[in-house]
Structure 1
Amino acid sequence: MSVREKSVKAMKPPAAPSTEAAEARASLLLRKAEGSYAFPALDSVAVQFARSLRDLIRALGAPTVQVERGETATISFADWAAASAPAIFWRYHAPPLKGPLLLAAPRPLLLQLVDIFYGGKGAPAGEREELTDAEDRFAARLGRDMGLQLAAAWRGKLGLEPELDCVTCDAAKLAAVRADDELFVQRFVLRGAPFEGRTISCAYPLAALRGIAGAEPATEIPGAADPAWASALHKTLREVRLPVRSVLARPEISLVKLLALEVGDIIPIGMPRHVPVTVAGRSFALGSIGEANGNAAIMIEHIEKGPNHD
């Protein structure tokens, strides 16, 4: 080969990346045509988040509720806020997302969840603009829990770790989002009494989603393909101890009676036929209260199905 041929070969541009590699890098954002976008990763995120919402709400005291994926829509922030009202909003800081991640739920739904959490039946409460201190604390706790569920839903796709930074009933206080900003909104519909038809929505600013088009998908766990490593991990996990919890009753009394309580007073409670059993904070089963070997016990009557129905 001549010196000239070697020089020409050295000056050739590097080969373009393969189609497969390009598709992998764009797995979070697919440009279908000029000005038209699709977000394939969000479909699987929504499926996982719907299951997590179901488990979360059941653990709060509504063991029969179901959560269905509703319609998705592209809508301006102003229209979304107006359609959600009266609502409570949660805003999250979630890098590498170039903008906030938002959740919204009807304010009556929050009041029903608070009522159930403290032992009620979730009867719809009268509408009011201000929340009590207890309701504010519950809303913040619920927001943090939903943020953890969102992080789990994104795991394996992108390392989103949403951090709750605002809880408000006033959409105008959701700074960093302008009225004309477009949002990609996913809706999750609750089924079953007393929440039938209530909707929780998750909104991603379109500009933020476009900003992660080139983000690298989360990498797999090193060594996961090694049979010996996988066997050792499986054996270790089988020995992990998890907290099992069941709430037998949540009596509710007025503040006046609470302050008047003395040693020897009795608080009446109603024992439900079935009680929820949670493991590490997640709904696991329903059981009935009884006795075994002279000890109080719970007999498992129904085990909840997991994400893969196992």
Structure 2
Amino acid sequence: MTASATSVKAAKASATPKGETNASLLLRKAEGSYAFPALDSVANQFGRSLRDLLRALGAPAIQVERASADQMSFAEWSAAAAPAIFWRYHAPPLKGPVLVAAARSLILQLVDIFYGGKGQPAAEREDLTDAEERFAARLGRDMGLQLATAWGEKLAVEPELDCVTTDPAKLAAVRADDEMFVQHFTLRGAPFEGRTITCAYPLAALRGIAGADVIETQAANDADPQWSNALNKALRDVRLPVRSVLARPEISLVKLLALEVGDIIPLAMPRHVPVTVAGRSFAVGSIGEANGNAAIMIEEIEKGPNHD
């Protein structure tokens, strides 16, 4: 290394405050407190992902409005969210969990839409049905994938859902007085107007990644944003035929030729029925009813040859 190169490096080091390393993209010490500038872009991406997820679940006009972040204790955050559904994620390399909360009534509305309803607000109650619990777990897994994507350009965080509960006391990884960095997302548009989803990080977990290596974004590898947006919009508007065969009765040719108006063909309704999309096997579901409408609840998504 030449003397000039050494002096340049030393000058840069002296101009960088203690702790303002490459990791300062994630964490910066400011006026005796911690600031998290990189979490702005993480929140923006997560907000867009939430919007797309809710639209896919049956609310095509929904918008997600991101509010400013706050710092508060875990007790204050959980009390403000109640009555709520809480999701806890184990998210290495963060030195603590990632927590997400949504109004319990939002889950009830989403389940109603999922089964063919219009998402009308339901009466508040503490216990969830088995279908609602399964839906909440599935939604939690989807949000975990979105969080991983939102962090993708900053840090390789891999949130893994490990708890879904309506009782904040069961989120044992945090204490009542632990300080949290809380991001707020407000839903706009019927039928979820004003509902909120919050994402909370323990400050200790964020401080623990001060020495982590930040992933550098390579702009040269990014697709043209205008082209990507147009492609994504076109793909979202594609309509695919969804079908389910409820029964396939078989009768002899003699009985078929003897059928008259008013005759009855008995059907044996199976517990599980196949669901196809564009002629391809997509899922297996069970037959039921929701809000007076016949409905099929997805029990299992079929996996392709590459498990995708």
TM range (shorter): 0.5 to 0.7
Letter in 2 for 1:25: A
2:94 is matched with 97
Distance 1:249 1:70 in 2: 40
Distance 2:81 2:152 in 1: 28
Q: Is 1:66 paired with 2:70? A: no
Tell me the alpha carbon deviations over residues 262-296 of structure 1, each in whole angstroms, 9 at most, x when there is no partner.
Answer: 5399xxxxxxxxxxxxxxxxxxxxxxxxxxxxxxx
2:186 is matched with 189
Distance 1:217 1:144 in 2: 25
1:32 is matched with 30
How far the C-alpha of 1:71 sits from its partner, in A, is 2.7
Distance 2:146 2:240 in 1: 21
1:164 is matched with 161
Tell me the alpha carbon deviations over residues 97-139 of structure 1, each in whole angstroms, 9 at most, x when there is no partner.
Answer: 0000000000000000000111100001111111011000000
Distance 2:35 2:203 in 1: 10
1:263 is matched with 267
Name the CA shift for 1:23/1:57 in 2 (closer, same or farther; >3 Å). Answer: same
1:83 is matched with 80
Letter in 1 for 2:75: A
Distance 1:245 1:114 in 2: 22
2:43 is matched with 46
Q: Is 1:131 paired with 2:128? A: yes
Work out which of the residue numbers 173, 178, 196 in structure 2 matches 1:176: 173
SS of 1:40's equivalent in the other structure is coil
Tell me the alpha carbon deviations over residues 156-178 of structure 1, each in whole angstroms, 9 at most, x when there is no partner.
Answer: 10000100000000000001100
Unaligned runs of 5+ in 2: 1-8, 224-230, 245-264, 270-308
Give me the TM-score of the superposition, normalised by structure 1. Answer: 0.67
Letter in 2 for 1:191: R
Letter in 2 for 1:263: L
SS of 2:51's equivalent in the other structure is helix
Distance 1:71 1:249 in 2: 44
Is the CA contact 1:26–1:215 (under 8 Å) kept in the aligned structure 2? no
1:290 is matched with none
1:146 is matched with 143
How far the C-alpha of 1:24 sits from its partner, in A, is 2.3
Name the CA shift for 1:20/1:130 in 2 (closer, same or farther; >3 Å). Answer: same
Q: 1:13-24 maps to which residues of 2 (within 5 A)?
A: 15=10, 18=13, 19=15, 22-24=20-22
1:206 is matched with 203
Q: Where in structure 1 do 4 or more consecutive aligned residues deviate above 2 Å? A: 14-25, 242-250, 261-265
Name the CA shift for 1:102/1:130 in 2 (closer, same or farther; >3 Å). Answer: same
Letter in 2 for 1:126: A
2:273 is matched with none
How many residues are aligned here?
230
Q: 1:260-299 maps to which residues of 2 (within 5 A)?
A: 263=267
Letter in 2 for 1:29: L
SS of 1:56's equivalent in the other structure is helix
Distance 2:266 2:43 in 1: 50
Unaligned runs of 5+ in 1: 1-13, 231-237, 251-260, 266-310
SS of 1:200's equivalent in the other structure is strand
Distance 2:38 2:203 in 1: 14
How far the C-alpha of 1:20 sits from its partner, in A, is 6.8
How far the C-alpha of 1:248 sits from its partner, in A, is 6.6
Tell me the alpha carbon deviations over residues 163-222 of structure 1, each in whole angstroms, 9 at most, x when there is no partner.
Answer: 00000000000011000001000000000011000000000001111111121102457x
SS of 2:71's equivalent in the other structure is strand
Letter in 2 for 1:101: V
Name the CA shift for 1:158/1:87 in 2 (closer, same or farther; >3 Å). Answer: same
Name the CA shift for 1:78/1:20 in 2 (closer, same or farther; >3 Å). Answer: same
Distance 2:104 2:30 in 1: 37
SS of 2:86's equivalent in the other structure is strand
State the percentage of identical aligned residues: 69
Distance 2:74 2:201 in 1: 10
RMSD of Structure 2 on Structure 1 (CA): 3.2
Letter in 2 for 1:195: F
